[in-house]
Homo-oligomer: A and B are copies of this chain.
C-alpha cells in the first residue's frame, strides 16, 4: 500500500488523498474507541506498516513501543479489535479507530477500557499542594484475569 505525498497544507487538510505524517520515530498517534458504546478503549501508536496492515485486514495492528515490534492486537489474548471505521485528522498525524472488540476488553490489566481511573479537577488546597492527586476508579470489575490470559508474558508497562 502506498501513502500520498504531503504537498501543501490545503491538500493535507482538505484533500482526499491519505498522506499521513509519521514523527521522527516513524510513528503516528492512534486513539481507539468502542464503536457501539463510544468510550475510549486505548491510545497507542502505529508505524507505516501497522497502518497499512490495519487498513488491509480491518483489524487493529499497532506498533508496540515497549516491545519494539508489530502488535496485532488480540494475537495473544484473543481480544481482537475489528475496525468498523478508520478516520484521520485534519493534519493527518493522528488516527481514530472505531472498533468492535471480541471478548469486550481492550486493557492488558483486565478492564474493558485502559481508562478506568479519574483525576479530580480543581486547584489543590494549601494542605494538599505537596501531594500528588488521588485517582478515583471509574470501572471496578475486570472482564478477565490477566494471569489466565497472558500467563507469565512480560508486562508491557514501562516505569
Contacts and interface: CB of A to CB of B under 8 A. Distances in A.
Interface of A: 1-4, 6-9, 12-19, 21, 29, 31, 33, 38-40, 42-43, 55-56, 58, 83, 85-91, 93-94, 96, 107-109, 111, 114-124, 129-138, 155-159
Given A1-B129, A33-B40, A83-B121, A135 B15 contact: yes
6 contacts: A1-B124, A4-B132, A16-B137, A31-B40, A43-B89, A90-B157
A121 B88 CA distance: 13
Nearest to A33: B40
Given A31-B43, A90-B116, A135-B88, A158 B14 contact: no
